[in-house]
A = this chain, B = another copy of it.
Amino acid sequence: MIWIEGQQSKSVADFGTWTNPLHTFPLNSINLLSLYLLPTPSSWLASLRCLLCRYFISRWLELCRLRKTTLMPMERRVQAMLLNFVLASFVFLILIRDGNAGITSSFIRSEWPAVDIPLDHEAFAVPKGYNAPQQVHITQGDYDGKAVIISWVTPDEPGPSHVQYGTSENKFQTSAEGTVANYTFYEYKSGYIHHCLIEGLEYKTKYYYRIGSGDSSRQFWFETPPKVDPDAAYKFGIIGDLGQTFNSLSTLEHYVQSGAETVLYVGDLSYADRYQYNDVGLRWDTWGRFIERSTAYYPWIWSAGNHEIDYMPYMGEVVPFKNYLHRFTTPFLASHSSSPLWYAVRRASAHIIVLSSYSPFVKYTPQYMWLQEELKRVDREKTPWLIVLMHVPLYNSNGAHYMEGESMRSVFESWLIQYKVDVIFAGHVHAYERSYRISNVDYNITGGNRYPIPDKSAPVYITVGDGGNQEGLAAKFLDPQPEYSAFREASYGHSTLEIKNRTHAIYHWNRNDDGKKVPTDSFVLRNQYWGSNRRRRKLKHFLLTVMDEVVNM
């Protein structure tokens, strides 16, 4: 058993990373001490296994000597049998995969060409009729999920900005008035972009809505979320860096099949900035039509990435987020934010905070000041699930964009731990990766600490920048896999987070797998607030009391 001595060999490489030289030390107080000092769970477990193995081997050798030299009494035989059983179990246990070991998936994807879908493809089909509304997308319109913002574009003239809606198909009892505006980008002139806020909706209700006028009008529907409640079950989809290639189409179709009710979008939408001059605006339009199959029915919670900046001095366009902000709105005022780029919404049992990687975020900036206040407003008794979205991952072990999240990590990480964020979704890196619960807040330049360490109060960091845009996959991971990285694979895909109640949620990452949706990385996420024993006991006590009262009524 080579691995006991801490040697790295092909046969044991699957059990984790074996970088710590303490493994080769003799079994003495230093080795015992190392159990407590080693930086990560996998190292800790490895040391424990190492110690146990040494113990059992020495006991076994002793028994072998006994067998050879004497006839054993009955008790000794029973002891020997028991020991053999324990030893066998132990060998079995060390042969199965260590749940804490970091995994770099060996899946090799036969990649589809990462080129954008041609303009005349049906995925970008323009709806029939003069001035027919297109690029329809909806998002949450308030803090708690009783409002929706409906956005669309009319290509030929402004037309009406109102939305007719109601709870029965083809019966639109109510209407709301929106706004319309257009803009230019270089010489491109946008269509007429409408945004209409519908407020005062009922929770968990299906609404039908109609936009446009006359023969060109179009109808869609959406469902409001359940009331904000700690045990409200809800299923989110998570997509990032989608773009408009055939891989993007595959991701989008798989997501539509997933049964998720709302998308948490982690930035980089159209990749229109890969084009020049008037084609930029044009490719924003095609993307709007491309996503409509989902966004007209399911709210997408937006966050912005670098491909939304559209800083193009060569064509005189230097106002950041110009295309994005004209087209995509967010309910930022409802969470007292001063910018559509950072905000928060509460939906079912989740409090979702959207951060902007490309806006100022250091201490004293508006985003920093806002987040400080917003985190205080989070009430885990009402919304147990605290989810943060951003574009640039704070932890990433891919060669692409490595350490780009350091800038924001150094500012916000201590808060994410203090407020026990459950999970952080990011995009940016065109691959999938999931971290352990770790933190690097002890690194302070002068103190000597240098590695991220296990931290049960820290969030799980998940990178889902694998929507499938034209830049292709980021397949070069750091080698060896850092101790903080739990699972990583360079494939296209999307994730779902199915919240069951206040304590548990089921998470899946679904690899596209060349056209088929394949669940790959799955785990049960325990809530960071309600997961604690004390709170669970309190909850159990409360439920038992209520049941007693019901029984005795």
Contacts and interface: CB of A to CB of B under 8 A. Distances in A.
A445 B392 CA distance: 16
Interface string A322-336: 000000000000001
Nearest to A446: B482
A311 B369 contact: yes
5 contacts: A320-B366, A358-B365, A359-B360, A407-B411, A449-B450
Given A311-B366, A403-B444, A406-B410, 8 more contacts: A306-B363, A311-B365, A313-B338, A313-B369, A358-B364, A358-B365, A363-B404, A445-B482
Interface string A35-74: 0000000000000000000000000000000000000000
Interface string A342-366: 0000000000000001111111111
Contact of A407 (B318, B362, B445): B362
Interface string A427-454: 0000000000000100111101111100
A371 interface: no
A378 interface: no
A301 interface: no
A366 B318 contact: yes
Nearest to A362: B407
Nearest to A485: B446
Interface string A202-245: 00000000000000000000000000000000000000000000
Top 9 A-B pairs ranked by shortest CB distance?
A450-B450, A318-B338, A306-B364, A406-B410, A407-B407, A446-B482, A311-B366, A362-B407, A407-B410
Q: Which of A408, A440, A445, A478 counts the most B-chain CB atoms under 10 A from its CB?
A: A445
Interface size range of chain A in the complex: 35 or more
A309 interface: yes
Contact of A365 (B320, B397, B406, B443): B320
Is chain A's interface secondary structure helix, strand, loop, or mixed overall?
Answer: loop
Report copies per complex.
Answer: 2
Nearest to A339: B318
B446 A478 contact: yes
Interface string A442-474: 011110111110000000000000000000000
A320 to B, nearest CB: 6
Contacts of A364: 306, 309, 311, 358
Contacts of A358: 360, 362, 364-365
Contacts of A363: 306, 404
Contact of A338 (B311, B338, B359, B392): B311
Contacts of A318: 338, 366
Contact of A445 (B361, B369, B411, B451): B451
A320 B370 CA distance: 13
B450 A448 contact: yes
Interface in A88-121: none
B403 A362 contact: no
A272 to B, nearest CB: 15
A402 B365 CA distance: 17
Contacts of A397: 446
Nearest to A359: B360
